[in-house]
Amino acid sequence: MKNKNQLLREYIKEAQLGKKAVGHFNISNMEGFWAVVMGAKELNLPVIIGVSEGERDFIGVKEIAAVVKSYRESTGQPVFLNADHTYSFDRVKEVVDAGYDAVIFDGTELSFEDNVLTTKRCVEYAKSVNPEMLVEAEIGFIGKSSKILDAVPDGVGKMTAVEEAKAFVDATGVDMLAPAVGNVHGMVKGGEPALNIPRVKEISDAVKIPLVLHGASGNSREDVRGAIESGVAIVHINTELRVAFKQGLMISLQENPDEISPYKYLRVARTAMQKVVEEKLKLFNNL
């Protein structure tokens, strides 16, 4: 088992040095929680549970923080909690105060200047409450929906400029950066656009902090590995988990139409998600 006292930033640094990545998986219920922690435990790997604003409003902002903290303390398993895609300082403050391990301020719809100002404010508040809390920010647009898409959303094709990324990191002091490098939230029917691996490397060399790949559901194994080897230290998966949950649940209900015990018919859905988690963690860690 990993060292339960090791910090998330240390796991991320280890991953980056080893050309690996920490898996980040979004959840919105306890089936998702167990799928992620059981999959990570099976492979003895650290893992990050992500909850977007909508997901944490559904499962409970403070409640999921209590679940993760309690589980980590009682088992020693390195499971961490990240407040994914957070769109205002007030909601960043909410998760900082709730004891999350990391938070992402998403100011991609703001001007560059306003994104810098709000991100810097988020960093300063987070560090004042918990110096070890990690703050991530985004520049560049990769879409907003974790769902099946008919086409790539307008505006997604524009890549994050290297100079802009460096200026942003220097001005804000963020711990991690999520750039736009051809990635897109959700899964595009017919296949994902190719990632710009050279751009990942250029941004990584310029900013000298860990990069985060959002919207990795549906990307090819070769692209994901290429991004990791070029500086990505965390990879986000959400849509593929949602698809697995829904398909598993539908199969379970169809095969057991008279079953009314949720813990029985939800088990298939949980197992389907855990399989995705394990497959992705093996890919991220070159296993």
Q: Which residues are tagged catalytic?
A: 84
Distances (CA, A) of 261 to 234, 252, 267: 36, 12, 10
C-alpha distances (whole Å) from 99 to each of 48, 123, 133, 222, 248 are 14, 15, 9, 36, 33
Phi, psi dihedrals of residue 106, rounded to the nearest 5°: -105, 100
Question: Cα angle at 81 between 206 and 138, to 5 degrees?
Answer: 30
Packing angle of the helix pair 89-97, 112-129 (nearest 10 deg): 20
- The number of beta carbons lying within 10 Å of the beta carbon of residue 125 is 17
- Torsion, Cα of 211, 275, 84, 49 (10° steps): -100
Question: How large is the angle between the packed helices 162-172 and 197-207, nearest 10 degrees?
Answer: 30
- Cβ–Cβ under 8 Å, residues 49 and 82: yes
